[in-house]
């Protein structure tokens, strides 16, 4: 039996989504909690596997991460959700569990992903773990003009930290919006997939454009040929959220 699992989490205290040895991860914490639930269920109920739609970096959050869970169980999706949430720490929460066909795969079935980055325009007592506070006044019009360059299919090698040099850096960006929201600036980016640190480096470059320290010519050069320059402006993980996975 296979289930789609929708999850929200505060990534501050985790090394990222992916399960790792000797470090705390979101996936690892979920698996431990799920195993506890199944160990307390009488009968043939058995947990098999949990896989996510993709990795989020250390310190990055999720408003709605998607995973698939394989198991043998007679428990309803709602009861499973309640029982697993009872075992989870307060910074991870299962939003919904839905029964799906066996050919569903959280990562391979996904069509696109959307991230949200939150910039605070003021010092905040309560939001520090969930924003990037920027003291400088940012010119949104300059940021928006530069953001248009990222739309479509591009080679994002300059904006990624590739573990494997042969890994393809081509990504299709479907949309990128920058909107003021009271004391915040919200940057949303939707793409076919994302490379390691890609969103944070795009945000960092957009902020430099907003500061007036980077222009369209600079960004075009980063997209046309490899440059290590964007890595210097990598935005902190605190403001980044995986917002939605589309199927």
- Tens digit of each residue's pLDDT (9 = 90 or more) over 95-141: 999 999 999 999 999 999 999 999 999 999 999 999 999 999 999 99
Active site residues: 57
Are residue 118 and residue 96 in the same domain, yes or no?
A: no
In this structure, the strands spanning 184-191 and 92-100 are: unpaired
In the chain, what's the furthest Cα-to-Cα distance? 65
Residue 107 is assigned to a structural domain of this protein = no
Q: How far apart are CA 128 and CA 72, in angstroms?
A: 41
Residue 149 is assigned to a structural domain of this protein = yes
Are residue 75 and residue 146 in the same domain, yes or no?
A: no
Are residue 96 and residue 145 in the same domain, yes or no?
A: no
- Of 92, 145, 137, which is closest to residue 119 (Cα–Cα)? 137
- 200 forms beta bridges with none
Q: How far apart are CA 15 and CA 58, in angstroms?
A: 4
- Tens digit of each residue's pLDDT (9 = 90 or more) over 201-232: 999 999 999 999 999 999 999 999 999 999 99
Q: What is the CATH number of the domain that holds 135?
A: 3.30.70.660
Cβ pair 150, 80 in contact under 8 A: no
Residue 106 is assigned to a structural domain of this protein = no
The whole domain housing 43 covers 2-100
Q: How far apart are CA 154 and CA 130, in angstroms?
A: 29
Are residue 56 and residue 116 in the same domain, yes or no?
A: no
Are residue 74 and residue 143 in the same domain, yes or no?
A: no
Q: What is the CATH number of the domain that holds 79?
A: 3.30.70.580
- Tens digit of each residue's pLDDT (9 = 90 or more) over 184-197: 999 999 999 999 99
Number of structural domains (the chain) is 2
């Amino acid at each position: 039996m296979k289930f789609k699992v929708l999850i929200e989490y505060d990534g501050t205290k985790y090394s990222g989504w992916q399960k790792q040895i000797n470090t705390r991860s979101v996936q690892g914490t979920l698996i431990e909690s799920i195993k506890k639930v199944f160990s307390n269920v009488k009968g043939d109920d058995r947990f098999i596997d949990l896989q996510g739609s993709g990795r989020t970096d250390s310190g990055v959050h999720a408003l709605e991460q998607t995973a698939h869970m394989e198991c043998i169980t007679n428990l309803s999706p709602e009861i499973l959700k309640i029982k697993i949430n009872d075992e989870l720490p307060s910074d991870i929460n299962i939003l919904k569990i839905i029964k799906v066909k066996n050919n569903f795969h959280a990562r391979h079935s996904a069509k696109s992903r959307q991230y949200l980055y939150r910039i605070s325009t003021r010092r905040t007592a309560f939001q520090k773990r969930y924003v990037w506070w920027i003291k400088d006044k940012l010119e949104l019009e300059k940021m928006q003009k530069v953001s248009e360059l990222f739309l479509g299919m591009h080679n994002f090698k300059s904006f990624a930290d590739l573990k494997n040099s042969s890994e393809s850096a081509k990504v299709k960006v479907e949309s990128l919006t920058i909107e003021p929201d009271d004391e915040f600036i919200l940057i949303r980016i939707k793409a076919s997939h994302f490379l390691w640190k890609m969103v944070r480096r795009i945000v960092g470059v957009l902020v430099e454009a907003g500061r007036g320290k980077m222009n369209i010519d600079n960004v075009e050069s980063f997209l046309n040929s490899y440059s290590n320059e964007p890595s210097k402006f990598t935005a902190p993980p605190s403001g980044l959220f995986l917002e939605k996975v589309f199927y």
